[in-house]
Amino acid sequence: MFIVNVEGAIRKNDKWLIIERSKKEEHAGGLLSLVGGKVDIEGNSSNILGRTVKREILEEVGIKVKDSLTYVSSTSFVTDSGQNVVDVIFLCEYESGEAFPISSNEVDGVFWLTSEEILNHPKSPIYLKESIRKAETLIPIHLS
């Protein structure tokens, strides 16, 4: 069995919304990340991935994104505690809100960074860099 995690690549004014994960987090604490979280078990449900990414973004950083989500990529990884995770990334279009860390248990900081700043940041893990590179290729002209 897998844990399913979703993340949103949110772009505004040529910058990406990036969080610094709380140092309290078991996985990747203190590193930079896209905003997201685990999919809850809901039984029979529709559009669960899209609803989850929108909810997690709102709960963690107070940002609303538009309904249209574009699939970027999916990967799998194993956490430090041995849990298998499927991670799905969506390109999200910013709608409203001011980004700030709502839960100190999950988010230590919120930043709007250019692709270059992310790619060169010492706290950017390789998988974040790969996600940003992939998301960049999918940006519609009107989002740039």
Q: What is the pLDDT of residues 21-35, one digit of tens each?
A: 877 766 667 899 999
pTM: 0.89
Domain tally, the chain? 1
Please state, in angstroms and rounded to a whole number, the distance separating the CA atoms of residues 27 and 104. 15
Please state, in angstroms and rounded to a whole number, the distance separating the CA atoms of residues 27 and 21. 9
CA-based Rg of the chain, rounded to a whole angstrom? 14
Residue 138: domain span: 3-143
Please state, in angstroms and rounded to a whole number, the distance separating the CA atoms of residues 28 and 96. 28
- CATH number of the domain to which 46 belongs: 3.90.79.10
Instruction: Please determine, for residue 39, whether its predicted confidence score (pLDDT) is greater than 70.
Output: yes
Report the amino acid identity of residue 91. Answer: L
Q: What is the pLDDT of residues 64-95, one digit of tens each?
A: 999 999 999 999 999 888 999 999 999 999 99
